Structure formats: C-alpha cells, structure tokens
Structure 1
Amino acid sequence: MQKKVLVFTSIGLLTILLGGIALGANTFFSSETTWEVHETPEEAGWSSEKLRQARRYYDSLHSTAAMAVYNGKVLFAWGDVTKNTNAHSIRKSFLNSLYGIHVEEDHIQLEDTLEKLGIYDFPDLTYEEKQAKVKHLLSSQSGVFHKAGEESWTMRRNRPLPGTHPPGSYFYYNNWDFNVLGTVFNQETEKDLFEEFKKQIANPIGMEDFSLDHTQYKYEVRRSIHPSYLFQVSARDMARFGQLFLQNGEWDGEQIIPESWIEESLKVHADVPGNNVYDYGYLWWVATSGPFSDLGMYSAVGRYGQSIDIIPELNLVFVHRVDSTSSTLGLRRSVAQAQRLRLLEMVIDAIVDDHEKTPQNF
C-alpha cells in the first residue's frame, strides 16, 4: 500500500468514486485519505452497470455503508464509511491480530489451561472446565457454558448445559470464551488490548478514523466478571484491516502480523453445525462450502450485518456495515447473512475480465 494522500474537491467526486455512477452521498472523501482509488470500474475490469444493480440492492437493505477494495485500491464506497460505529463481533478478529503478535513473541501460550492462567468466574469453574486451553477459547470450544456479557438472545437460547461437552470437543459460539480471551491477553502481556491495537495495528496501517475514545470495556458483573471489549470502527478502517490480512499480515514492507499465525488462524479448528457457508478458525469464519469456499473467502462477522469479507482469489476486500445505533419504528436495523452474501455475490458478478475466477453458480 502506497502512502499517497489524495485530496478531492466536491466537483466530480462521485464520478471519481464510481466512474460516473452517481449513486448518492458518501463520506469517503470528506477529508484527506491515503487510499488510492480506481479511476473507473471499467479501468479496473469491472462493470459500472452491474455495480449499479448491486447498489440498488444495497439501497433496499438496512445497510448504512459498504466498501470494496480491489488490488489494493478503492473500487467503491457507499454510505457513511468514515463514521465509527459498533463493530460488534468483528472485535474478535481484531483481537486475533494481537494474539498473533504476542504468541509469536512467546507472551501467550496456546496450550496453557485456564487453571494455569488462574481464570475463574462466579460461579467458579469445575475442574474439567479449568482444563480448557487458550486454543480452545480461540476456536470457541472451551466447554465452559457460563453466562457472558454482550450475549444475544440466540446465544442464551442455544447455550448448552454445563458439563455436557469437554474442552475441545464442541463448537458453541460463546462470548464467555471471547471475553476471557481479552482478560488473558491483558493479564499475560501486561498491556491494554485497546492501546496495543492502536500501537500494533491501527497506527502502522494508517487507520484514519480510529480513536481510543471509541473503545470501552463493558462490565456486566451479574453475568460474568470478564468484560466485553467493544470497538467502534469505521468501514474504511475495517477495509484497511481486511487488506492487512489479504496481504498476509504485511504492510509497506513490514510484517505486522506473523504470516504463520494468519495461516493457522484460517485453518478450520471447529465444524459449525447448521451453517451452510462457514466453519470456524481462530476468531475468523472460514468459508468451507459453495462458491465462496472456491474463492478462499474468510470473514469477520458481527451482529446486525457487520462484515469484513476477504477473498484472496479475487484480491478483494468487501466491508458491509449497519449502524446499530439507528432504529426503524423502535427496532434495530439488521441485514441477514443471506442478504449480505447476496449483495457480495452481485458485486463479484460485476467483474468482467476475470470470469475464470468467478463461480458460475453465483
């Protein structure tokens, strides 16, 4: 990624953004940006007309921002891509990047058990639960089925009974595991995960909207002593994070995240029953069936429709956002996984010079 500052006036802004496709207001160029931009979709080998169709579908959803980066340059940016909004469970993939750095530096051991680490909660863990290892937390297979902060109704409904599955044997999307990973990180590194993310990730890759003022620990002590670690992040900064992973952890000649960690994180460590697209790695969702699997896609996914979808076979990063602080008739807005993936299919269908890489059944 070249650190080239681009400053545009409002004249011709949308023409630059989508090669003449006037598709509504956006915020991408409201200030200086280091992103480079494709002059037109056609110049990059994409169809303006098909991107228009994708934009019309986007407009029919509760989406509030979307962005695509192709070959390291912005292909399009729709909606408010500079606003820091709740990243929801994408926070877990952010934490993955820090684990990669500190596992490499031998500050965290994947084989350490909760017992060795002195992890407890109220009620306390059983002996068997304390045998869960850090690697089981990373793959959401700890077998510890306690209440946790930031749980959705679905998580609460699907929580297995305590003691029904030993560590490493069963996948349950478990905020207890994820929140405890934050506790373990801060304890073992003697650093604050938010400050470390800013130092190790946000600053080196040039996140433009990230601020520690938009991070917080959320304590729900009636549920668990382990807080949730919440990020508010913009779409364009999420795209930058996705590009870092697409580049195997390298940025401007510097290896930010060990490539071996990214490779290990994107292995399937847990089968996910009932999900016809993804299985689970280390805090990343890995496409294992259908056309997205053929493209090598993996995703950071959050509640209400947040995503960073990384497609190595197309050299593409796609970000989708729903501002969950907004509401419609008193109900939170949401975009279902099927709708988000349908939008991504329409975007991919706009490629006109790379048909051999585009699955025919999209």
Structure 2
Amino acid sequence: MKRYLFLLVVGLLFFNFGNSQAYYFPERNSNWATKVEASNSFNQIALEEAVRFAKDNEYSGSRDLRIAILKGFEREPFHKILGPTKKRGGPAGMILKNGYLVTSWGDTKRVDMTFSVTKSFLSTMAGLAEDQGLIKDIDDRVGDYIWDGTFDGEHNSKITWEHLLQQNSAWSGELWGGKDWADRPPREGGVHDWKFERPKEPGTVMEYNDVRVNVLAYSLTHVWRKPMPIVLKEHIMDKIGASTTWRWHGYNHAWTEIDGIKMKSVTGGGHSGAGLFISAEDMARFGMLFLNDGKWKEDQLISKEWIQKAIKPSKPNVNYGYMWWLNKKGNRHWEGLSENIYYAAGFGGNFIVIDQENDLVVVTRWLEPNKIAEFMGLVNDAID
C-alpha cells in the first residue's frame, strides 16, 4: 500500500511538472514564482556561466540610445530621429522553465526601448484581426481593405497581408517622410541606383525595411479603427497581467484620422525612435503566451492556428516568418540548438526566445547581438 501511494505521488508530481501544459502564469504585480523542480532542471554552475556571459557581453553601443541610433544607421540617406528615445539600462534578462523563474539578472522591471522586438507584437495584431474576422484571409490583397491610395498602382496593388508580415512586399512609396528605398539601403551602388531601382515582385525577396513595417502598422490601425496600443492592451497585455508601464510610440508627426478621430500610427521598430518601450518581465509574459500556443491559463488569446502560420518559414527567407525569426538551417541558424526555436529580436541585443521543446522562455536585453547564439548555447548546455 505504501509503495502504491509513493508511486501515485511521484506520478502526480511528474504530471504536474513534466506535462508541458502545466505552466505557471504570474498574476499582475506579483513576484515571479520559482520552483525547485525548475531549478533542478539546470546545472547551476553552467547556468551561472551563461548569466555571467550575458553580463560580460553588453551591447557596445552608447547607453544614450539617441547616439547609438544615429551611429548605427548613419549610412541611411535622410536618416534622423522622428520619435521618442530613452537612455537604456544595463544587461538584464530572465530564464523561465515551465513559466517558473529559474534565474534573472539586471533590472527586469526597467522600461527600455525594444526596437524590432516590436515587430513580433505588431504581427500579433494582424493575427488577432484574422482571428476576429476583421481580415478574412492573410492572403488577401491589402488594397481591398485600405483604399486611400497607399496600395494603388500596378506594383503596390499586388501586395497581400502576408507579404507585409514576411517583409517581402517590396512596397514602394513614402510614409511619414520615410522613403522605402532609403531605409537600410544595400551596401553596393549609389543612392541614385537605389532610388530608381525597379521594385521586386512581392513575395520573392525579403528586405528588412521599417518603412514597409510602418505601412503594416498604419493599415492595421485602419482595419481595427483603433490605435495599436489600445488593441494590444485590451486583447493581450491586460489579459496576461502585464504592468501598466509599457508604452508603444509612433513618430511625432504620424497622425491619421479615422471616424473623425485623430489617432497615432505607431512604428514597428525604433531605428528612427519610437516603437515599444517595455520591461523584461512584460516581455517574458508575452513569451509565455506564445510558449503555451496563444493561451494564458485557460483563455485562448491568439489562435494556435495563427501562431503556426506565424512561425512557418517564408519562401524568400527560411529564417523568417511573420516577424518572428526562426532557428532553421539558414544564414541565422544557431548550431546545436533546436530548429523549432523562434524568437523576437531588436537592435542593441533585445531578444524574446521561445523554446517549446525545453519549455523555456528566455529574455535577454542589451546583449551584444552577435553573441546571442553563443549565449543560447550556454543556456542549452546548462539544462541538466
């Protein structure tokens, strides 16, 4: 009888922790819980080495992000700061196992710019729009929804929502003073070559381009008839218990009018300022939502079907989905790590990494960007 009870208890403990769906979801304004089983999943010495690596390899750019931005994008013609910036803190991060805090470093409550991590939040706004029927199909042409001239013309009229999400739309034009050809131009050729180059066929070539991402943000604002920060707050951040400290900014002059109401159209990045300003802890909550296939506790906030589409490799770039980077075998593959890992990444070394095979969410901030693969290798090696 005693043996039976012992096996029953062991079995229940295994089910509660070993079951990948038995995740912990922190309440708002609560201290993040730890669990012995989560900590015991790691070799503590190796884990400390990973954290030390993150601390020792701080992003080399200035902590005054206005300076770092202007230096980082000095090649771009006409580049200037158009939206808010903020001086940053030092390295910070969190590692979660089954939702429980295994370790953290730095100030995880500090609100900092997050640059292109914003894109993964923006793509989720498109997912919510499709889930709720505001967009019938992600393969629809955007011009069927936005008829104000943004998608007029032989070229732009071909662009679908998926093209914008995968950054292979080759949208041609100007938005908020930003010209598509001047954003992250190729290193070869002169400015006049870039300016007059014929746009590529939509869906054929990925080009990382914030002007086109901002076109997506503008288009979604009109589809939702609401500013994106309100959509994010109501449908995601409030429901996952995020703090009230995060902010999503647009350029100072990026206003549009919908239903007679003046609304700010936000950016999907921060390389001209603006974007999502957020803490590591709120980033970790967002990561937990995706680790659990769009479900927070028992509430399905974003459909699993959308997430599967969002992390499917695009044809032009096997390492990119719907504004999530994918650890497939390509130019950005992290050797020795699961090909099912996907992550949000931003300028200056901001990352939210989702590793479902190991039930991990890893957030790291202000890590030298070219060190992320090595850092994740150390985290993986620490799994006991």
TM-score bucket of the superposed structures, by smaller chain: 0.7 to 0.9
Structure-to-structure mapping, 1:219-234, within 5 angstroms: 219=252, 228=267, 230-234=275-279
> What is the CA distance between 1:250 and its match in structure 2?
0.5
> What is the CA distance between 1:113 and its match in structure 2?
2.5
Contact 1:171 1:271 in 2 (8 A): yes
> What is the CA distance between 1:89 and its match in structure 2?
0.6
Alignment of 1:218 with 2:251, yes or no, is yes
TM-score under structure 1 length normalisation = 0.75
Please state whether the residue corresponding to 1:239 is helix, strand or coil: helix
Aligned counterpart for 1:340 among listed residues 372, 375, 383: 372
Separation in 1 of the partners of 2:287 and 2:152?
Answer: 36
Contact 2:236 2:301 in 1 (8 A): yes
Structure-to-structure mapping, 1:228-267, within 5 angstroms: 228=267, 230-267=275-312
Which residue is 2:355 aligned to?
311
* Structure 1 ranges of 4+ moved more than 6 A: 150-154
Structure-to-structure mapping, 1:1-362, within 5 angstroms: 1-2=23-24, 32-39=29-36, 43-62=39-58, 64-109=91-136, 110-116=138-144, 117-118=146-147, 120=149, 126-146=153-173, 149=178, 155-157=184-186, 162-211=197-246, 214-219=247-252, 228=267, 230-272=275-317, 279-289=319-329, 291=335, 294-322=338-366, 335-336=368-369, 338-352=370-384
Separation in 2 of the partners of 1:194 and 1:69?
Answer: 26
Q: Flag the 1:2–1:298 CA change in 2: closer, same or farther, 3 A.
A: closer
TM-score under structure 2 length normalisation = 0.71
Q: Flag the 1:3–1:227 CA change in 2: closer, same or farther, 3 A.
A: closer
> What is the CA distance between 1:345 and its match in structure 2?
1.0
Percent identity at matched positions?
25
The alignment of Structure 1 onto Structure 2 pairs a total of residues equal to 302
Q: Which of structures 1 and 2 has the larger relative contact order (alpha carbons within 8 angstroms, sep 6+)?
A: 2
> What is the CA distance between 1:232 and its match in structure 2?
0.3
Separation in 1 of the partners of 2:121 and 2:342?
Answer: 14
Separation in 2 of the partners of 1:279 and 1:215?
Answer: 26
Q: Which runs of 5+ in 1 are unaligned?
A: 7-31, 273-277, 323-333, 353-362
Separation in 1 of the partners of 2:180 and 2:356?
Answer: 31
> What is the CA distance between 1:177 and its match in structure 2?
2.3
Please state whether the residue corresponding to 1:349 is helix, strand or coil: helix
Please state whether the residue corresponding to 2:204 is helix, strand or coil: coil
Paired letter, 1:204: K
Separation in 2 of the partners of 1:145 and 1:293?
Answer: 37
Separation in 2 of the partners of 1:62 and 1:179?
Answer: 29
Please state whether the residue corresponding to 1:197 is helix, strand or coil: helix
Q: Which runs of 5+ in 2 are unaligned?
A: 1-22, 60-90, 188-193, 255-263, 269-274
Q: Flag the 1:203–1:66 CA change in 2: closer, same or farther, 3 A.
A: same
Please state whether the residue corresponding to 2:312 is helix, strand or coil: coil
> What is the CA distance between 1:204 and its match in structure 2?
0.5
Q: Flag the 1:151–1:144 CA change in 2: closer, same or farther, 3 A.
A: closer
Q: Flag the 1:34–1:154 CA change in 2: closer, same or farther, 3 A.
A: same
Separation in 1 of the partners of 2:160 and 2:180?
Answer: 22
Q: Flag the 1:279–1:295 CA change in 2: closer, same or farther, 3 A.
A: closer
Which residue is 2:66 aligned to?
none
